[in-house]
Amino acid sequence: MLVEDDARLSSLIAEYLAAYEFEVAVVARGDEAPARFQAFAPDVVVLDLMLPGMDGADVCRQLRALAGTPILVLTAREDDYDQVALLEHGADDFINKPVQPRVLLARLRALLRRAGPAAGPGSAEGGAANAPAAAPGTLQFGALCIATSDRQVRWRGAPVVLSGSEYKLLLVLAEAAGTVLSRDALLKKLRGLEFDGMDRSIDNSISKLRRRFDDHEAEKIKTVWGEGYLFSPSAWQ
């Protein structure tokens, strides 16, 4: 379910997602969202913040009180406080406007994977489209399986032994599949620290992960120069 009052944007998003086998129900007003949510019973919600009738934050709280369905918020706000508040209101993830369709698709697929195999249609692109659905509590990307319940990682059927810091880094990257994460963002998520420009620990840990998964060409975990690192959801074959 897409809750967005910009008719042009909602049409573009719905058309793009339909090409990847998503059935999109569009709601243009915030005050109509809770009732439509109960009628549609969607697998995932994409929710704009600035809505007529009811603010998106209030919609988010009401939807979360109704069900545990994943909610991804569209926001034009850059303030960290606002983003933290969204998560506290019950949102599972957020994406900044202007919306990049491929990033939106990757975030939706990540949310659906975390919600379980029956949560929705979004399978990974390319060869991963025919991969078996991940069991609850796991992230599945082609031949890579991350079991979050017991911190076990399997690659092409074989267990991979990772240090605690390597596992945490892999999980953070995988949960944001298709999205570039800066060194600053990674350090904040992993240690709550700011990147000082000299700390090479993230780069070193990325290099170790690449060696673990034979990522010699940096296709699975890509370097986006000047921005950070991107976990490619379609490269784990």
Q: Which CATH class is domain 2-115?
A: alpha beta
Full pLDDT tens readout for the chain, 237 residues: 999 999 999 999 998 898 888 889 999 999 999 999 988 889 999 999 889 999 988 999 899 888 888 999 988 766 555 666 677 778 888 888 888 888 899 889 888 887 764 444 433 333 333 334 444 567 888 889 998 877 889 998 889 988 888 898 999 999 888 888 888 888 887 766 554 555 577 888 999 999 999 999 899 999 998 889 999 988 888
What is the DSSP secondary structure assignment for residue 146, as one 8-state letter? E
- Chain centroid to CA 102: 11
- pTM over 0.85, yes/no: no
228-231: strand order across its sheet: 180-181, 228-231, 221-224
Fold of 126-231: Arc Repressor Mutant, subunit A (1.10.10)
* Domain ranges, ordered by start, for the chain: 2-115, 126-231
Is residue 171 within 8 A of residue 148, CB to CB? The reply is: yes
| Residue 136 preceded by cis peptide, ω within 30 | no
